[in-house]
A and B are shown apart, each in its own frame.
Chain A
Amino acid sequence: MLKYIIRRVLQTIPVLIGVSILVFSLMHLIPGNPAQIIAGEGASEQTVRQIEERLGLNDPIHVQYFNYMSGVLQGDLGNSVRSGRAVSDEIAARFWVTVELSFYATVLAVFLGLMAGIISAVRRYTLADTAIMIVALFGLSMPNFWLGLVLIDWFAIGGDWLPEWAKLRPSGWGDSWRQVILPVITLGTGGAAIIARMTRSSMLEVINQDYIRTARAKGLTDRIVTYRHALKNALIPVVTVVGLEFGGFLGGAVLTETIFAINGMGRLTVQAITQRDFPIVQGAVLVLSVLFVFVNLIVDISYKLLNKRIDLN
């Protein structure tokens, strides 16, 4: 097991290097002179030069990457070209807001998804199953930002349901559940739908297996067979989906935070893109991606712990 963990951790290194190269390249993929684009059309040549100097764009590319990475490893993600503030400070102020939003959305998605998936599988081919699967398909097909807008339209306008995450304390906790419920529903619904579908198909697969038939044959009640024998094994593949969904929520937070005006990393990224503030875009994309890589690492390891039969070779 330890060997597997070490191997899996080592495998993430090339991925992290690849991510860093891609994020670093973002600035160099800009068609034309990035400094000119950052400075804007009417900027003087001097301003453009200053930006080039500040971002080190005149150095050879490998030197730029080396400088960038040595900075990143020391927690220095550069400075915002608009405010001049350190990118790491800008991100630190918003990091936990996005993580917590994604975490709540994951909790909601797991809770709703598992419940719906289990009911659907246990009562397969009934009206309840059909209804749940139709709702799940809608959940899967709905743009989450549209759901957010509809929720604002129905519940928030004229009421006090609008979140005030902008005023959050550093811990990121909202003052009341009312302020967090709409963004969490907005972000979590799609994931709940995916988890429900996955749980249902996983449960159905397990229910058809021999050991379940044996459990029934020896006289165990349906309840015990379903919840003690089937569910335990059916949940294993669901774990992977939960990890992926958490990552999806980190990305999805871009839209949710924008419509609810939540000052998280997603909104920061969108604002930075609009203002062509590339150091912030690079920093935010890098941090969210690295976080996602680590979440996947933890999920893979727990997958192995949960199911010792998997041959990971």
Chain B
Amino acid sequence: MSEQTAGATGSEKAYNPRLELYKGFWKRFKKNKSALVGGIVVLFFILVAIFGPMLVNTDPNATDITNKLQPPSAEHWFGTDNYGRDIFSRIIYGTGLTLIVGFVSVMIGGIIGVLFGIIAGYYGGKIDTVIMRLMDVLLAFPGILLALAIVSVLGGSIQNMIIAIGIFSVPAFARIVRGSTLSVRKLEYIDAMRALGASDFRIIFKHVLPNVLSPIIVQATLRIATAVLTAAGLSFLGLGAQPPTPEWGAMLSAGRSYMAESPHMILIPGIAIVLVVLAFNIFGDGLRDALDPKANK
């Protein structure tokens, strides 16, 4: 018995298809230097978000009117704002907020969108028509307008902004997952599972979902970039984070009035947004190339 187990473990070590898949993915991902850099920058921002506030000993909301609108210096690396608040500290604290908004909203949009997409693709027929027409309705609102409309009724706050961006992300996930589910559904092993008497629930979550995971991961990474941009836009309009929250979009909005004398007030939060979005975009592109080599021309 024990020999048998040992034998089985040995053969698994010799060829584990899942492990081979990961190895192949990692090999392709490593080759893509820019994706690697994107991943490292994403990791850097995550570390800044977690540990940054512990290392910065300046309160991001501490005002010092005598030191207002100071350009970057040794004392204030990124300068100070119109209330004399340290911009470096505000950027560090804002990193966590930016990433939370990005991750949570995409998670909300992802879970709802994947469920809709997988149900539409798996069942087809009228269910598919109803769900996808609903997605078409959500997609009929151009750009930021859907998120804007939702925030306008719920009121401007970070929570409401997350909900709005989450809903805004739903159709993108639903469409991609539906497409992938349609192709997986036709595979023979799904028919085999059905013939063996597996329930729809089991087939969907145990067999279809793992097979459509790659496009979901890629889409989620790229959607975080979109979510960060949308959040910055909403906060810039005063419909997201409210003062004195150190949110980057809101910081840009505050810097608008002092642009001529203190351009660092708009340059620094803007560069921070660009870097985070850029990192997620590059990382997402790299993941797509590695997870779906066929898409890599």
Residues B281 and A140 in contact, CB atoms below 8 Å apart: yes
- Assess whether A249 is in contact with B143, with CB atoms less than 8 Å apart: yes
- Nearest A residue to B136 via CB reads A15
| Cβ contact within 8 Å between B143 and A273 | no
The answer on a CB contact under 8 Å between B136 and A18 is yes
Query: Chain B residues with Cβ under 8 A from A96's Cβ?
Result: none
The number of chain B residues touching the other chain, given as a range, is 35 or more
Residue-wise interface mask of B (48-77) relative to A, using a CB-CB cutoff of 8 A (1 in contact, 0 not):
000000000000000000000000000000
Nearest CB in chain B to that of A152: its residue:
B259
A142 sits at the interface (CB 8 A): yes
Establish whether residues A143 and B273, one from each chain, have CB atoms under 8 Å apart when the complex forms: yes
A270 within 8 Å of B (CB atoms):
yes
CB-defined contacts of A306 to chain B, threshold 8 Å: none
What per-residue 1/0 map shows which CB atoms of A223-254 lie under 8 Å from chain B? 00000000000000000000000011111101
B133:A250 contact, CB within 8 angstroms? no
Q: Which residues of B contact A278 (CB under 8 A)?
A: 152
Does A22 reach chain B (CB closer than 8 Å)? yes
How many A-B pairs with Cβ below 8 Å? 141
Are A18 and B140 neighbours in the complex by a CB distance under 8 Å?
Answer: yes
Q: Are B278 and A14 in contact (CB under 8 A)?
A: no
Q: A182-210 interface mask toward B, CB cutoff 8 Å, 1 = contact, 0 = none?
A: 00000000000000000001001100100
B interface majority secondary structure: helix
Q: Which residue of A lies closest to B285 (CB)?
A: A137
The one of A152, A249, A255 in contact with B237, judged by C-beta atoms closer than 8 angstroms, is: A255
Contact with B along A286-313 (1 / 0, CB 8 A): 0011011100000000000000000000
Interface string of A133-166 (1 = CB under 8 A from B): 0000110111101100110110001100000000
Write the B137-178 contact mask toward A (1 if CB under 8 angstroms, else 0).
Answer: 100111111001101111100000000000000000000000
A285 at the interface (CB under 8 A from B): yes
Known A26-B152, A204-B297, A288-B145; contact A146-B252, beta-carbon cutoff 8 A: yes
Chain B residues with CB under 8 Å of A149's CB are 252, 255-256, 259, 266, 270
- Residues of A within 8 A of B (CB-CB), count: 52
Q: Does A269 contact B (CB under 8 A)?
A: yes
Please state if B236 and A289 are interface contacts (CB–CB under 8 Å). Answer: no
Q: Which of B237, B277, B297 contacts A258 (CB 8 A)?
A: B237
A153-B259, A288-B142 known; A145 vs B233 contact (CB < 8 Å): yes
| Given A29-B153, A30-B154, A141-B229, 10 more pairs with CB closer than 8 A | A16-B140, A19-B137, A138-B274, A141-B225, A143-B232, A146-B252, A152-B259, A249-B143, A255-B144, A291-B142
B residues whose Cβ falls under 8 Å from a Cβ of A:
133-134, 136-137, 140-145, 148-149, 151-155, 225, 229, 232-233, 236-239, 249, 252, 255-256, 259-260, 263, 266-267, 270, 273-274, 277-278, 281-282, 297
Point out residues on A near B: beta carbons under 8 Å. Answer: 14-16, 18-19, 22-23, 26-27, 29-31, 137-138, 140-143, 145-146, 149-150, 152-153, 157-158, 201, 204-205, 208, 247-252, 254-255, 258-259, 269-270, 273-274, 278, 281, 285, 288-289, 291-293
